[in-house]
Amino acid sequence: GNSVTQMEGPVTLSEEAFLTINCTYTATGYPSLFWYVQYPGEGLQLLLKATKADDKGSNKGFEATYRKETTSFHLEKGSVQVSDSAVYFCALGPSGGSYIPTFGRGTSLIVHP
Amino acid sequence: DTGVSQDPRHKITKRGQNVTFRCDPISEHNRLYWYRQTLGQGPEFLTYFQNEAQLEKSRLLSDRFSAERPKGSFSTLEIQRTEQGDSAMYLCASSLTPAADTQYFGPGTRLTVL
């Protein structure tokens, strides 16, 4: 079945630092790829997505590129803010005839002023 | 668009009791998912509906769990004879096919089994 591996957290950064959160996957077929974010006390919400190889998803200064050759979808941001502190989940859409989306275990980001 | 809503937001119950949770998806969304999330983990798939049809159910799901979506709108998730290991956040999400599978999540129901 499909699986997602995310880097362990927490990731602790100072404001304006560069962020990378690694995500690699195994999948049957060619699923869409997603990053969801969960702010404290809130539900998951879509941050960005990419639907095919070499697509770049972007939103709120975050970016991730669908890399089929390395089966990766790393999340990056050039300059983080305190308000970016949250848990970030990498996810695969359904593929290979299954209806089941697959989520990583999440990476907590803590940004200090 | 009022978003996905879930009720109740919190439920505390004693071991052995039955509980039922409700999810109201975004009105035009025909796909509905239930997940379970425990501390430090990502959402774990439980079951999936397309309209009123339950098309997929996790093999990990005990037969104490059942879900319905009788008219293709709201859905209920029932857990019978609850166990302490059922304590978790139960998430509902909906999506509109064929919009590249983006899911819209509700705030979740936190279940505590004493």
Q: How large is the average pLDDT for residues B9-37?
A: 96
Structure tokens at B55: 């098309």
- Spatial CB neighbours of B98, under 8 Å, sequence gap ≥ 6: none
* Residues of chain B found within 8 Å of residue A93, distances taken between Cβ atoms: 100-101
Question: Would you say A37 and A45 are in contact if contact means Cβ atoms under 8 Å apart?
Answer: yes
Which of A40-49, A89-98, B35-44 is the least confident region?
A89-98
Say whether pLDDT at B99 is over 60. Answer: no
DSSP of B3-47, one letter per residue? Answer: --EEE-SEEEE-TT--EEEEEE--TT--EEEEEEE-TTS--EEEE
Chain-chain contact of B42 with A103 (C-beta, under 8 angstroms): yes
Q: What is the mean pLDDT of residues A95-105?
A: 87
**Single-letter amino acid, residue B82:** T
Q: What is the number of residues in chain A?
A: 113
Q: How far is A98 from chain B (nearest CA, A)?
A: 8
Which residues of chain B are within 8 Å of residue A46 when distances are taken between CB atoms?
A: 102-104
Q: What is the DSSP letter of B85?
A: G
pLDDT digits (tens, 9 = 90+) for A20-30: 999 999 998 88
Using the predicted structure, report yes or no on whether residue B16 has a pLDDT greater than 80.
yes
Give bridge partners of residue A86 from the DSSP assignment.
A109
Tokens at B17, concatenated: 């009791």
**Closest partner residue to A32 among B43, B48, B100, by Cβ?**
B100
Q: How far apart are CA B42 and CA B5, in angstroms?
A: 20
